[in-house]
Amino acid sequence: MDGWRVCGAVLYDELVEKILSWLPVKYLIRFKCMCKSWNSLMAWVTLVGETLDNMTFQISKDQIHLKLYVSLKSHNDKRLGGPIEMGTWMHDIIWRETNVKCKVWESGRGADWFLENGGNTVFIKGLILAKGGGEAICGCTKKPDEVRRLTLLTGEGGPKNKFFYHLGRSLVAMIF
């Protein structure tokens, strides 16, 4: 099926993706049960909890642009480019500094990641960001029986690692 028929007007997959890309993740989870093609469209949205209210994604066929909302303590860190106003999109900062684009890895490819911060563990599942050969993370879960050992892949130095740091930090800040 190429698209969804709307009384003569067809909204293509592409357009539906664009519309959905404005919505926070929790809405996407709800809409996954719309029909099977929506489910596969959003296959990458795996397990996310309420903590991810402040994350949105820009979806396209092989890329996801991640936006993180800085809602907690991390808003006054020089390493994030100086004081950041409450409510600044992490997205802007990350992108300004490193211009990282995210890549979707298909589920079932062993793409589960974690991040440790002083004994706290953030569980990350399903999605991997990539720039060159490097990988990072997005998406996470607090569900206890979904716990996996964490692994964070870092590539060969450069802005990429800085990006990991920022991303990891803000995830931790959001959850703990």
Residues 6+ apart with CB under 8 A from 141: 46, 47, 48, 49, 123, 124, 125
Q: How far is the CB of 158 from another protein (least distance, A)?
A: 31
CA-based nearest residue to 137, from 95, 88, 102, 96: 102
Q: How far is the CB of 41 from another protein (least distance, A)?
A: 11
Which of 19, 153 has the CB closer to another protein?
19
The DSSP symbol for 67 reads E
The residues facing 9 across adjacent strands are: 6
C-beta separation of 5 from 32 below 8 A: no
Six token digits for residue 134: 């490097």
Q: How far is the CB of 6 from another protein (least distance, A)?
A: 4
Which of 57, 163 has the CB closer to another protein?
57
Three-state secondary structure string covering 72-87: CHHHHCHHHCCCCCCC
Q: How far is the CB of 21 from another protein (least distance, A)?
A: 8
Which of 53, 77 has the CB closer to another protein?
53
Which residues would be at the binding site for another protein (CB under 8 A)? 4-7, 9-12, 14-16, 18-23, 26-27, 29-38, 47-50, 143
101: left (phi over 0), alpha (psi -120 to 50) or beta: beta
Q: How far is the CB of 122 from another protein (least distance, A)?
A: 16
Which of 56, 170 has the CB closer to another protein?
56
Which of 18, 91 has the CB closer to another protein?
18
